[in-house]
Amino acid sequence: MARRKLGFWGRFAVSLVKPATALMNKPDWRGFEHLQRPGGVIVVVNHMSDADPFVIARYVYESGRWPQFLAKESLFRLPVAGKILEWCRQVPVRRGTIEAARALDDAVEALRNNGTVVIYPEGTITRDPDLWPMKGKTGAARLALLTGAPVIPVAMWGAEEIYDRRKPSKKLRLRPRTPVWVWAGPPVDLDQWLGEEASAAVLNDMTDAMMLRIRDILAEIRGVENPPPLWTPERKEAGE
């Protein structure tokens, strides 16, 4: 596993995020050993809250790696914050444009340099009423086919107690030591698809395999024996 090279802005980000999450979270972190391996890795994680990127960022950092998120390009246009994202080696995604493929080029380069690319396959916060994972988009699968990098499934739970979009009157609850679970599993078994053409069927099957593994880890965290199928948006919602 490559050593982290933080630079000034990386150390700056750590100085903000680490103390804040240490104060706000009481973590149950498991599975660091799956990230502590040679070479680049793709981390796929469920998305429940606007607070959870900070949680997963610290989790990856504490594993000894530097997280590089695939993030909406609009975030990089924010004053000050956008530049910090760039200087911290995050990867912009230009959704709905012909330049969207450039994000994968940047991610491929990061993985070839032993990086840790963090992807929310759902692309947005889950719309499942009970916060189970949705069917995912295919970017992580494309990246796995391009690079052969291992895909590490990570499930988290508890960040919704810090910030929950579903509760307009009580979205933000800043309570110290809020329990937060982040568990990683062994790499998703994608061997049957390696070397295949990146057809829609192959990419969708690979993505489902990733999301189902995340769902199963989340079920372990939540103590649920029979988790539901991956949530699929209604056709109207899917086109939004």
3 pLDDT higher than 50: no
pLDDT tens, residue by residue, 50-92: 888 889 999 999 999 989 988 776 666 666 566 666 667 777 7
CATH number of the domain that residue 145 is part of: 3.40.1130.10
CB atoms within 10 A of CB 93: 24
Whole-number pLDDT of residue 102: 61
Tokens of 201: 């069927």
Cα separation values, 206 from 19, 78, 191, Å = 37, 34, 10
Q: What is the pLDDT of residue 39?
A: 94
What is the structure's pLDDT at 122? 94
Q: DSSP letter for 191, please.
A: G
Share of the chain above pLDDT 70, in %: 78
Q: Are 204 and 213 in contact (CB under 8 A)?
A: no
Strands, sheet with 91-93, edge to edge from the N-terminal-most edge strand? 25-30, 178-184, 151-157, 41-45, 116-119, 67-72, 91-93
Question: In the prediction, which pLDDT does 209 show?
Answer: 98
Does residue 235 belong to any structural domain of this protein? no
Cα(217)–Cα(222) distance, rounded to whole angstroms? 9
Identify whether the C-beta of residue 194 lies closer than 8 Å to the C-beta of residue 206: no
Look at residue 173 and tell me whether its pLDDT is greater than 80: no
Q: Which residue in 115, 117, 74, 118 sits closest to 92, CA to CA?
A: 74
Query: Would you state the pLDDT for residue 98?
Result: 53
Full-model pTM: 0.85
Please report whether residue 157 resides in a domain.
Answer: yes
**210 neighbors 164 (Cβ within 8 angstroms):** no
Does any domain span residue 38? yes
Task: Name the residue range of residue 214's domain.
Answer: 26-163+177-223
- The pLDDT value recorded for residue 33 is 97
109 lies in some domain: yes
For the record, the structure tokens of 27 come out as 């973590």
Domains held by the chain: number = 1
Q: How confident is the model at residue 25 (pLDDT cuts 50, 70, 90)?
A: confident
**Greater pLDDT, 147 or 175:** 147
- The average pLDDT across 122-130 equals 92
Instruction: Name the residue with higher pLDDT: 11 or 224.
Output: 224
Lowest mean pLDDT among 68-72, 91-95, 134-138, 161-165: 91-95
- Does any domain span residue 4? no
Give pLDDT tens digits for 197-222: 999 999 999 999 999 999 999 999 99
Residue 239 lies in a domain: no
